[in-house]
């Protein structure tokens, strides 16, 4: 299932002019606030009318300024999850969940209610009223409500932005489950690098109403060109497989031939997961360092060096086909005499696992 978006919209002094294609999986619209991410979601959902452009889902035209076709939100069947959960305050959780079900077409393939409730862990909340729920609980109910309307696609407009860190950590795994367990494409708006790294299959980078970059998550996040967007995003995102657990509490992972040691990962050997290596956690060395505490020292090739405006520089590295990013100083670049194509070593100070599982 593919979403094809092309929009032009003038909102006061701000012009939105974007075009991208969202394939299956999670497509994250990423960019700083004010970059037009939410305007895109609004237009796709049918909550605003762009001046020009089209939105097509698997070839079906949801809107097209050329032909004048414009489907109202109710006819689009795109499950929308908002930043503020927007639960109906006069209905219990159970009635909120059931709300969209009755409007779904008969032939729509809806997920079984029990499965959704189970997946989101909201079975104990059904009789409660929205005002008695925590922010995280509200958002889980909102996700369930959107899913039970048998949507063809999910739209999530910064669903974690209004939550504190603890609640964010509570909700993020549920989106990972949606991505991994359901066959519903998700268009997800975020300005938080951590969410992008953990969720994205495809990343669309927006800046001042324009698309700066579209591509597979690993490629876009490992691209030094996009790092000014949100420096925290810089880093590598790798798919890794658990090889074995060592008796000293470390787990050995394999990412396309790259062997990594991590503190024990709570997954069985053979399981695949996402790991994130942030650019500031990568040190570089000309010779293989010895007698150091870091466990992961990898031979890498310098692919590109990008000098920042300040004292920093970003170095893109190729580690056996995987892309890594290192944030070092310009002074170090000069002192080490780094150049493209050079073979050096990367020392990973920290490797984080996109925390998996809900239970």
Partner 1 sequence: MTLTGWLGPEEWQAVALSLKVATWATLASLPPGILVAYALARWRFPGRHVLNGLVHLPLILPPVVTGYLLLLTFGRQGPVGALLDPIGITFAFRWTGAALAAAIMAFPLLVRAIRLSIEAVDPKLEEAAATLGASRLRVFVTITLPLILPGLLAGAILAFAKAMGEFGATITFVSNIPGQTQTLPTAIYAFLQVPGGEASAIRLVVISVAIAMLALVLSEVFAQRLARRLRQ
For partner 1, the binding residues (CB under 8 A) are 45-47, 72-74, 76-80, 82, 84, 86-90, 99-100, 103-104, 130-131, 145-146, 149
Minimum CB distance to partner 1, residue 45 (Å): 6
Nearer to partner 1, 55 or 346 (CB): 55
Minimum CB distance to partner 1, residue 94 (Å): 15
Nearer to partner 1, 81 or 346 (CB): 81
Q: How far is CA 39 from CA 18, 45, 114, 273, in A?
A: 10, 10, 34, 32
Nearer to partner 1, 144 or 224 (CB): 144
Q: Does residue 19 contact residue 32 with C-beta atoms inside 8 Å?
A: no
Minimum CB distance to partner 1, residue 81 (Å): 9
Minimum CB distance to partner 1, residue 114 (Å): 20
From the DSSP assignment, how many helices (H) and strands (E) are in the chain? Answer: 9, 21
Nearer to partner 1, 72 or 269 (CB): 72
Give the C-alpha separation, 306 to 315, whole Å. Answer: 6
- Nearest C-alpha neighbor of 213 from the set 198, 225, 201, 228: 225
Nearer to partner 1, 76 or 191 (CB): 76
Q: Give the DSSP H or E segment for 42.
A: helix 37-45
Q: Is 138 helix (H, G, I), strand (E, B) or coil?
A: helix
Nearer to partner 1, 82 or 174 (CB): 82
Strand order, beta sheet including 352-353: 258-263, 250-255, 235-245, 272-278, 352-353
Minimum CB distance to partner 1, residue 298 (Å): 46
Minimum CB distance to partner 1, residue 99 (Å): 6
Q: What angle do CA 94, 137, 217 make, to 5 degrees?
A: 115
Q: Which long-range contacts (CB under 8 A, 24 or more apart) does 327-331 make?
A: 327/231, 327/234, 327/279, 327/280, 327/282, 328/283, 328/284
CB-based contacts of 130, cutoff 8 Å, min separation 6: 85, 87, 88, 89, 91, 93, 96, 138, 141
Nearer to partner 1, 76 or 140 (CB): 76
Give the C-alpha separation, 51 to 202, whole Å. Answer: 26
Minimum CB distance to partner 1, residue 186 (Å): 15
């Amino acid at each position: 299932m593919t979403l094809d978006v092309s929009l032009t919209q003038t909102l006061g002094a701000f012009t939105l002019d974007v075009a991208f294609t969202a394939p299956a999986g999670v497509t994250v619209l990423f960019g700083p606030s004010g970059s037009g991410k939410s305007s895109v979601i609004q237009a796709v959902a049918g909550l605003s009318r762009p001046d020009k452009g089209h939105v097509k889902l698997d070839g079906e035209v949801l809107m097209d300024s050329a032909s004048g076709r414009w489907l109202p939100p109710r006819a689009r069947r795109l499950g929308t999850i908002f930043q503020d959960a927007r639960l109906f305050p006069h209905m219990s959780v159970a009635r909120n969940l059931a709300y969209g079900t009755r409007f779904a077409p008969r032939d729509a393939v809806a997920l079984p209610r029990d499965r959704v409730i189970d997946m989101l862990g909201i079975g104990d909340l059904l009789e409660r009223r929205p005002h008695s729920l925590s922010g995280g609980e509200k958002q889980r109910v909102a996700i369930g409500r959107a899913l039970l309307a048998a949507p063809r696609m999910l739209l999530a407009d910064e669903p974690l932005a209004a939550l504190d860190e603890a609640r964010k950590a509570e909700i993020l795994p549920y989106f990972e489950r949606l991505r991994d367990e359901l066959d519903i494409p998700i268009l997800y708006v975020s300005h938080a690098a951590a969410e992008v790294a953990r969720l994205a299959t495809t990343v669309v980078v927006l800046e001042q109403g324009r698309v700066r970059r579209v591509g597979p998550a690993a490629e876009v996040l490992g691209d030094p060109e996009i790092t000014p967007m949100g420096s925290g995003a810089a880093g590598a995102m790798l798919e890794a497989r658990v090889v074995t657990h060592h008796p000293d509490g470390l787990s050995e992972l394999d990412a396309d031939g790259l062997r990594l040691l991590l503190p024990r990962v709570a997954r069985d050997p053979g399981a695949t997961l996402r790991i994130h290596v942030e650019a500031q956690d990568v040190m570089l060395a000309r010779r293989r360092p010895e007698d150091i505490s870091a466990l992961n020292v990898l031979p890498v090739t310098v692919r590109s060096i990008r000098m920042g405006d300040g004292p920093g520089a970003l170095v893109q590295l190729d580690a056996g086909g995987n892309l890594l990013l290192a944030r070092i100083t310009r002074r170090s670049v000069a002192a080490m005499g780094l150049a493209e194509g050079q073979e050096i070593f990367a020392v990973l100070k920290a490797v984080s696992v996109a925390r998996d599982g809900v239970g």
